[in-house]
Amino acid sequence: MFLYHYRDPRSPSRRAHDQAESDNEAVRVAMRRRLPVIYFFGIVPGRYRPFYPAYVVADHPERREFSLDLTELGARHLDDLASDAPSRSYRAQIVRSRMHQARFREAVMRAYQSSCAICRLKRSELVEAAHIVGDADGGEPVVPNGMALCKLHHAAFDRNILGVRPDLRVAIRQDILEEVDGPMLLHGLQDFHGLQLSVIPRRRDDRPSADFLERRWEQFRSA
Ligand SMILES: [Zn+2]
């Protein structure tokens, strides 16, 4: 269950108070009428990711909070929730993971100024937040386990065509280095072999952690 705090007035004025109360009342109406609402999850101040449909399933006036169901299973009331608890808890895990990934992407993009760490490409539609140690291998969605990579370098990294050494140098797998093909292979991959990462976060705490890099480097070497 996700909690949504009541809206509080932004200023002590009567008008702000009434506005906040009427917003809270609107949420109550959605609960009573069992209407779906859109939940805007805050990624960073001023940036949100919408979750839809969200259902308001309970009101807790003593804590000034509402409980929301974001599992898309169409919960109408708390009483219904117990019946499909396993699929509900699985769906809730997916929603939580989406929330973490959204914050991870934002934080990695910020640390790398939205540029691919390998080639500097800065076209945000083509740049992604890559995990150094993958999700499935227990890699957490935290900046020191991330790198901003363009789609080509992300895919090459995930498939062990390209590796990043613990000293932040790029390595291209031997068979790929020996391959002869067009300019994309040459300039897109082979030319980066042995070079230092092009973009490294300014803040030390944001840089790839040696631990994660070493774990991942071992995987690359045994590929
Ligand atoms: Zn790139």
DSSP output for the chain? -EEEEPP--SSSSHHHHHHHHHHHHHHHHHHHHT--EEEEEEEETTEEEEEEEEEEEEEETTTTEEEEE-SSS---SHHHHGGGHHHHHHHHHHHHHHHHHHHHHHHHHHHTTT--TTT----GGGEEEEESS-GGGT--SSGGGEEEEEHHHHHHHHTTSEEE-TTSBEEE-HHHHH----HHHHHHTGGGTTPBPS---SSGGGSPPHHHHHHHHHHHHT-
Residues near ion ligand 1 (Cβ under 5 Å)? 116, 118-119, 121, 150, 153
Q: What is the pLDDT of residue 81?
A: 61
Separation of 192 CA from ligand 1 center, angstroms?
Answer: 10
Place of tokens 């974001």: 70
Separation of 187 CA from ligand 1 center, angstroms?
Answer: 11
Separation of 99 CA from ligand 1 center, angstroms?
Answer: 25
Separation of 116 CA from ligand 1 center, angstroms?
Answer: 5
Q: What is the pLDDT of residue 77?
A: 53
Q: What is the pLDDT of residue 82?
A: 65
CA end-to-end distance (rounded Å), the chain: 41
Q: What is the pLDDT of residue 1?
A: 73
Separation of 150 CA from ligand 1 center, angstroms?
Answer: 4
Separation of 122 CA from ligand 1 center, angstroms?
Answer: 9
Tens of pLDDT along the chain (223 residues)? 789 999 999 899 999 999 999 999 999 999 999 999 999 998 888 889 999 999 999 999 999 999 998 887 765 555 666 666 777 788 888 888 889 999 999 999 999 999 999 999 999 999 999 999 998 888 889 999 999 999 999 999 999 999 999 999 999 999 999 999 999 999 999 999 999 999 999 999 999 999 999 999 999 999 8
For the chain, the structural domain boundaries read 2-106, 114-221
Separation of 198 CA from ligand 1 center, angstroms?
Answer: 9
Q: What is the pLDDT of residue 88?
A: 78
Q: What is the pLDDT of residue 217?
A: 97
Separation of 12 CA from ligand 1 center, angstroms?
Answer: 50
Separation of 185 CA from ligand 1 center, angstroms?
Answer: 12
